[in-house]
Structure 1
Amino acid sequence: MKPLRKMILSTVLLLTCAAPLALAHAHPKQLSPQADVSVAAPKEIRIAFSESLEPALSSIKLFDAKNKLVTDKSAVDKANPKVMALPLPALAGGQYRVEWVAVAEDGHRTSGHYRFTVK
């Protein structure tokens, strides 16, 4: 019985220590424009994350419906390092794909994408 108790205690301890590591990843909390919406041409893409970002390693890119890069000049907000923005040129009507990479200050990397449509 003691080996089983020791194994259970070790497993609980391991899971308790590993849980904070999962929380260190930066995940999107707010998207502007939101995913899968039709909007008037936005002036920027703005994503708020759950963690502060490493500016040199985090980015947003915008692609048009033909998979052509529209712009990739994003930056992490100096006043709020949990926010990253991509200023946009005038966008024509159509569907666009946003691709983002977020590297938290502790080095954990997440990435994703979503679409929106300009009316």
Structure 2
Amino acid sequence: MHTAVKTAFSIATATGLLLVVSMGQAWAHAHPVQQTPAPDTTISAPGAVTIVYTEPIEAALSSLNVLDAQGKQVNTAKAHVTDSNHKSLEVALPKLSSGHYKVQWAVVADDGHRSHGSYTFAVK
């Protein structure tokens, strides 16, 4: 019985340690917490796209681009960090016509972890 308790304790400890380590790795990547315009919305033409991330990002290693329905990039400006804590990335936009647009982002967090994604919005 004593060996069974030791085995159960060892398994529980290993499982808990694995959970804590995997959670730390997931938190190390920068992920969007706020997107303007928001995903899947229809709005008047925005002057910029802004994404706020969970972690500080390296602006020089990150990108934020907006594509039209044909896949052509519509922004000519380069994305830049807009806040002192380096969690907000923004790109200026020209006047957009009515239609659907795709936002593509790729960021590198200060700790070196890379993440990327995309979403769409529409202009009335």
TM-score (norm 1): 0.90
Corresponding residue for residue 67 of structure 1 = 71
Which residue of 107, 116, 119 maps to 1:114?
Answer: 119
Report 1:1-119 matches (<5 A): 1=4, 2-71=6-75, 73-119=78-124
SS state of the match for residue 17, structure 1? helix
Supply the AA of the counterpart residue of 1:46: T
Question: Could you tell me the TM-score, scaled by structure 2's length?
Answer: 0.86
Greater Cα offset, 81-90 or 104-113: 104-113
Does the Cα contact within 8 Å between 1:45 and 1:87 map onto a contact in 2? yes
Comparing 76-85 and 105-114, the one that deviates more: 76-85
The alpha-carbon deviation at position 78 of structure 1 amounts to 5.0
Q: CA deviation at 1:42?
A: 0.6
Structure 1 residue 90 displacement after superposition:
1.3
SS at the partner of 1:70? coil
Task: Give ranges in structure 2 of 5+ residues lacking alignment.
Answer: none
Give me the whole-angstrom Cα distance separating, in 2, the residues matched to 1:42 and 1:80.
Answer: 24
Equivalent residues of 1:58, 1:76 under 8 A apart: no
The size of the alignment, in residue pairs, is 119
Equivalent residues of 1:26, 1:110 under 8 A apart: yes
Which protein has the bigger helix share?
A: 2
Report percent identity of matched pairs.
41
Write out the 4+ residue segments of structure 1 that deviate beyond 4 Å after TM superposition: none
Which runs of 5 or more structure 1 residues have no equivalent in the other structure?
Answer: none
Structure 1 residue 11 displacement after superposition: 2.4
